[in-house]
Amino acid sequence: MKALIATAYGDVQNLEFAEAAEPNAAAGDVKIQVHAASINPLDWKLLSGYGRGTSMELHFPAILGRDASGEVLEVGANVKSLRAGDRVLGFALGTFAERVVAVASAWAKVPPKLDLAAAAALPMVALTGAQLADSVEAKPGMSVLVTGAVGGVGRVAVFVAKTAGATVWAGVRAEQRRQRAHWVLTTSWPSMTMPR
């Protein structure tokens, strides 16, 4: 199969579209035909060498990508929750490829009304944002400030905290304020900085 392969730590010149080994599904795994995968900050951070010397060390050639949507091609012998043809989204490893394998528990079914491209944008930011809001135990009566509230993770944290009943204050940058006038509060702060 074809994949986007990182050949060494560095910048995007070290990404090659090339042939990669076909992944195989073990008994508890699900293999999908990738429809779309989204790029997350972790992907370019890992490419730049952020994970060196940690459990996130890349072993080259490496396939980046942490989330995807697609159609189930095959399931392992022990998998009862999904079957071939199901539309799924999930949080997996090596998703910048035509096909990817992950344990069955990595995947959720895509609702009929959601297209697969929109679904691919969700797994990493949706789970991160939800787990972020959960980490502060958002509940009725609480005031919660979410920073970076128009980013993917921030949007989901706002949604989950509001759904939990908290009063949510959405913090965004100055130039984003006009477009978000309906929000309870906006404030101004400098750009997020990240290793590049």
Partner 1 sequence: MALDDDAEIAALPQFDAICDTVNGETIGKLLLHLKTGGALGSTLGEPVGAKQRGVKVTAIRTRPDPARLSQLAIAAADGRLVVPVQRAFPLEQGADAFRLARQDGVAKVLLMPQLPSTDR
If one asks whether residue 75 binds partner 1 (CB under 8 A), the answer comes out as no
* Minimum separation from the CB atom of position 63 to partner 1 (A): 10
Residues in the interface with partner 1 (CB under 8 A) total: 87
If one asks whether residue 130 binds partner 1 (CB under 8 A), the answer comes out as yes
Of 133, 61, 54, nearest in space to 94 by CA = 61
Q: Are 15 and 165 in contact (CB under 8 A)?
A: no
Q: Which stretch binds partner 1 (CB under 8 A): 21-29, 71-79, 177-185?
A: 177-185
Which residue, 74 or 176, has its beta carbon nearer to partner 1? 176
Answer for which of 25, 32, 75, 126 binds partner 1 (CB under 8 A) is: 126
How many CB atoms sit inside 10 A of residue 14's CB? 16
If one asks whether residue 135 binds partner 1 (CB under 8 A), the answer comes out as yes
CA–CA dist 188, 171 (Å, integer)? 7
Answer for which of 19, 24, 137, 184 binds partner 1 (CB under 8 A) is: 137
153 membership: H or E segment, kind and range: helix 152-163
* Minimum separation from the CB atom of position 57 to partner 1 (A): 16
Answer for which of 3, 32, 46, 101 binds partner 1 (CB under 8 A) is: 3
Q: Are 72 and 78 in contact (CB under 8 A)?
A: no
- Return the SS3 of 87: strand
* Minimum separation from the CB atom of position 159 to partner 1 (A): 5
Answer for which of 61, 127, 180, 183 binds partner 1 (CB under 8 A) is: 127
CA-based torsion, 173, 177, 178, 183: positive or negative: positive
Buried b (16+ CB within 10 A) or exposed e, 17-51: eeebeebebeeebbbbebbbbbebbbbbebbbebe
Within residues 7-36, the interface with partner 1 by CB under 8 A covers 12-13, 15, 17, 34-36
If one asks whether residue 111 binds partner 1 (CB under 8 A), the answer comes out as yes
* Minimum separation from the CB atom of position 77 to partner 1 (A): 20
